[in-house]
Structure 1
Amino acid sequence: MTLSRKDFFRHSIYSLGKTVLSVGESVREAQASLYGASLQAEPAGELEHDGRGGDPEREAGAEPASGPDMVARVDNRHCMARSCGCFSCTERCEAGAIILVMGEGIRIAASLCTGCGDCYRVCPLAPEALRLVPRG
């Protein structure tokens, strides 16, 4: 059997893609068993924004309210982790409450979130992509 160079690379990349997808599915299953039901994707549009572009409190230098009664919420429609590899919040979260789901964005385990606000402070797209909201 003779394979052209083009076909060789096409089949190799296809096989690699299938492998990446199967590994991704295994990782998702492991994360689901590790975090259980506490790690659920937030429905799109969970965060409300008035569309004026920017957060007046953040622009004025005010810190968001933080504490144990607050929890981080993500809107993956605006999150850069979904498409360009921004890992600012996942690297900053000392509680380990934020994980990256390839092709989807980030997920936050509310049960692990301490409400400290570190993720909000490092997020380049907060408050559109990430906010602190009251628990509940």
Structure 2
Amino acid sequence: MSKRILFVCLGNICRSPSAHAVTRRLAPGWEIDSAGTSDWHVGEPPYGPMQQAARARGIEMGDLRARQFHAGDFGRFDLIVAMDADNLARIEALRPAGSTTPVRLFTGFAGPDAGDHVPDPYYTRDFDGCLDLIEICAKGLIETA
């Protein structure tokens, strides 16, 4: 069965495109997309250092381009996955009346030790640590699907 999953972070240049790229590699039959709650980077590729860290693991994301999350995404996806509580709240604020599309935190798929958010490597500079957590979360998501 095909799944339609949308990953969402703030700018759509680090965390959500990384989750997009990792998950599409692990679940090639799924429809995967990513978006940001802000419009800061619309049309831009993922952040260079994030791409470099991913490429070192054999994960390619250079084909992705940032886009902004919009209310219509609730109708296009089976699940919307937020990287942190702030972005989850921004997503929920756009929920159309009657929409039942689930919105969950990505770390919820990684078990209780994963914390409550995927730290933003744009600020932390820990691109490898971010990818480690994203890989754990993606595997957990796939196992629960």
Same fold (TM over 0.5): no
| TM-score of the pair, normalised by structure 1 | 0.24
Q: Normalized per residue, which structure has more helix?
A: 2
For the pair shown, which has the larger CA radius of gyration, 1 or 2?
1
